[in-house]
Structure 1
Amino acid sequence: MSTTAPASRAAEILSRPVSLNGLTVPNRIAMAPMTRQFSPGGVPGEDVAEYYARRAAAGVGLIVTEGTYVGHDSAGESDRVPRFHGTEQLAGWTKVADAVHAAGGTIVPQLWHIGMVRKAGKPPYADAPAVGPSGIRLDGTEGTGKAMTQADLDEVIAAFAEAAATAERIGFDGVELHGAHGYLLDQFLWAGTNRRTDAYGGDPVARTKFAAEIVAAVRDSVSADFPVLFRYSQWKSDNYDARLAETPEELEAILTPLAAAGVDAFHASTRRYWLPEFDGSDLNLAGWTKKLTGKPTITVGSVGLDGDFIKAFMGESSQVASLDNLLDRLERDEFDLVAVGRALLQDPEWAAKVLDGRLEELGSYDPKALSTLS
């Protein structure tokens, strides 16, 4: 472990650039995607552009936007979540990308389809059904959704590919595919929601087929050096103990087809980054992902804070925690980037303070103090 003073050590380690395919990210700090519902009509406005640009100007190297719905009617259930299709929506996103670049940052949109999480009658397309691998919700009930046909699968694959091509065309630096937290791609990956008996269901490799086909279609729709990121998790939005893989071997079976299909970097979502993923090793999920695939990885989960974000949703505050453990792992190359969520939400200057060695200026996270997400 380094004996360098904590402030200068953090600045030194986190300020190193990193390459994701053809993109050079100026430092190791990423902004985690956080749903905000501040885009009426699915259109990201000037306030959204300012929100992201403010954090880029303060030193965030890579911004991953909040989830944005791909062009499939069943993709979402809110008319205030941004969409990545439509003339007005894409004009808004173009301004977001331009603003972040003008502030010195890089940015990728997180492309999203919620699948069976969708509730009947919700906007933006009230008549659209919830769809998923088997028509089963995260709690195991069948609900009002339907199992996807081959035509449905093809439509969603095409929607992701079109969104990725659009992202490159309007000036984004890459894309992230949302395959985590129990949403559509994750519903195929997880045995709890994937009961299919065709080529898209069964063992872990078969359950990966749909996500791998999306990755391959996205890869084919963009330039060879355009980064494709894939976010995944073990846990689901209402089942924090759920696991895609109980062993490293099972995880390797899931990740290998995705890497082969064209994923350039994995964003491994955990609630607490410091927890080991499997018995017998201190590696976290991002660490195991890098070891098994050889791809760059992003870690996330209560970075700089002492409590996970689930408790924050319940109104609990979190105190500032030491970054020493995080920096030790970065020095060992366990992972390549660090995604920061709540800390950046409350303090847009978080990255600047860390990179400038001003750790004493970091504050605790108090959800009650957030009057606006600016």
Structure 2
Amino acid sequence: MNFEHTEDRRMLADSLNRFIAEQYAFDKRDRIARSAQGFSTEIWQQFAELGVIGALFSEADGGFGGAGFDVAVVFESLGRGLVVEPLLGAVMAGEAISAAGDDAQKAQLADIIGGTTIAAFAHDEPDAHYELARVQTRAERSGNGWVLQGAKAVVPQGEQADLFVVSARSSGAADSEAGISLFLVPAKTPGLSVRGCPAIDGGRVAELTLDGVTLGADALLGAEGQGHTTLERAIGRGVLALCAESLGAMEAAKTATLDYLRTRKQFGTLIGSFQALQHRMADLLLEIEQARSAVINAAAAIDADRLTRERALSAAKFSIGRIGTLVAEESIQMHGGIGMTWELPLAHYAKRLVMIDHQLGDEDHHLQRYIALGKQVAA
């Protein structure tokens, strides 16, 4: 199988990498990430104009990409630049709307692609422990509509979102796959409160409280109680995006570490000439190539049957979690004390690599999930 990118994807990667290098230098990124808003509206609009958001959506949805490798190309570039703009929310919320929405709901994709609507995916809950089906937020019928009651945690860029895709349980036990429904909730809906805080790796996250949020019948995304399949697809796209982002961050950390080994002298000798450091760096390069293979495998499987897709995604997330942490630790170690300083970009890459492991399921969670899915294949 040929895994080389198409000419269009290579052009997209080149233009996006060039834009980030020229317009998203580390000092500017640091100011954006620590700002009260948590991202730059100006940069977000420029991403829309460059077609970066559109590359995440299929032509049927108004974009010009949408395949697994399109998502991987975009997010690898974002990882290289530590970009904090809310593209992850666009990927997951957009996939849910595309997969389950009616024509009126899908019409909102145009505004997401155009950058005028910021969408966020609100599924995680305080006690969910990464379990996809564990949803305690309740959705009860009220006349022709719905009333939502519950809470969602760690929603990236939730404060600035215009539209949320929210999971809620309309029937069944708290950990049952059956009975989960998805809803489109505008940010200004009465009863919805959003409390934000800075994230350790830059940008902002938010907690959502839904206290008697009243929605019309048109807010239901897909069939009542049948949202688990859509939820799995949307989060699967998010997992692929995070894996590719981590790969980009690994590449940046690797490059910075190699440059340091080639220029830093100790006792009058370049430390890159020390055999012990050469061996550690060679091991790291091999691990990063293994991570790249895992991302390629996940991108190729994103539109395959469910078990093939989910096993590839969990395998990639497990690999990325383990290797990303290793890259963060080794890069810091080979830099020495300077590697921990705030002013050096490497420390921020290390934080992001570690935190990606904890988004949408850490390596332990995905290893167990991979094993469980393998048993289903065997059966």
Tell me the TM-score normalised to structure 2 length: 0.28
Q: Which has the larger radius of gyration?
A: 2
Select the structure that is richer in helix. 2
